[in-house]
Structure 1
Amino acid sequence: MTASTYLDDDARWEALRRRDRDAEGAFFIAVRTTGVYCLASCAGRPLRKNVEFHDTQESARAAGFRPCLRCKPDQPRETLRWATVPTSLGLALVARSEAGLRLVTLGDDAQALAKDLERRFRSARLTPDPAGLAADLKAVATEVDGRGAALDLPLDDQGTPLQRKVWATLRTIPAGTTLCYAEVARAIGRPTAARAVAQACGANPLAVITPCHRVVRADGGLSGYRWGVERKRALLAREAARPREAA
Structure 2
Amino acid sequence: MKPTQTAARALATQSDPRWAAVLGRDRNATFYYSVATTGVYCKPSCGARPRPENVAFHASCDAAEAAGFRPCKRCRPRSRPEVLRHAIGESPLGAVLLAQSAQGVCAVLIGDEPAPLLDDLRRRFPTARIEAGDETTVAALAQVLAQVSQPQRAVALPLDARGTAFQQTVWQALRQIPPGETRSYAELARAIGAPASVRAVAGACAANPLAVVVPCHRVLRSDGGLSGYRWGVARKRALLAAEAGRTEART
Q: Distance in 2 between matches of 1:164 and 1:188?
A: 11
What is the aligned partner in structure 1 of residue 82 from structure 2?
78
Structure 1: runs of 5+ lacking an equivalent: 1-56, 62-72, 243-247
What does 1:170-209 correspond to in 2, within 5 Å? 170-209=174-213
Native 8 Å contact 1:96 1:103 kept in 2: yes
Larger Rg over CA atoms:
1
Structure 2: runs of 5+ lacking an equivalent: 1-60, 66-76, 247-251
SS of residue paired to 2:135: coil
What is the aligned partner in structure 1 of residue 126 from structure 2?
122
Q: Distance in 1 between matches of 2:120 and 2:208?
A: 14
The 1:127/1:112 distance shift into structure 2, 3 A limit, reads: same
What is the aligned partner in structure 2 of residue 216 from structure 1?
220
For residue 130 of structure 1, report the CA deviation from its aligned partner. 5.2
Q: Distance in 1 between matches of 2:156 and 2:238?
A: 23
What is the aligned partner in structure 2 of residue 70 from structure 1?
none
Aligned residues: 175
Native 8 Å contact 2:151 2:179 kept in 1: no
Q: Distance in 2 between matches of 1:198 and 1:146?
A: 26
For the aligned residue pairs, the C-alpha RMSD in angstroms reads 2.2
What is the aligned partner in structure 2 of residue 161 from structure 1?
165
The alignment-based identity, stated in percent, is 52
The 1:151/1:132 distance shift into structure 2, 3 A limit, reads: closer
SS of residue paired to 1:92: strand
Which amino acid counterpart does residue 183 of structure 1 have in structure 2? E
Off by >6 Å, runs of 4+ in structure 1 = none
The yes-or-no answer on 1:95 pairing with 2:99 is yes
Q: Distance in 2 between matches of 1:106 and 1:90?
A: 7
For residue 241 of structure 1, report the CA deviation from its aligned partner. 1.0
Native 8 Å contact 1:82 1:127 kept in 2: yes
Native 8 Å contact 1:142 1:148 kept in 2: no
Native 8 Å contact 1:180 1:217 kept in 2: yes
TM-score by length of 1: 0.67
What is the aligned partner in structure 2 of residue 231 from structure 1?
235
Native 8 Å contact 1:84 1:130 kept in 2: no
The yes-or-no answer on 1:142 pairing with 2:146 is yes
SS of residue paired to 2:127: coil
Native 8 Å contact 1:82 1:133 kept in 2: yes
Which amino acid counterpart does residue 175 of structure 1 have in structure 2? P
Q: Distance in 2 between matches of 1:135 and 1:202?
A: 27
Q: Distance in 1 between matches of 2:102 and 2:199?
A: 32
TM-score by length of 2: 0.66
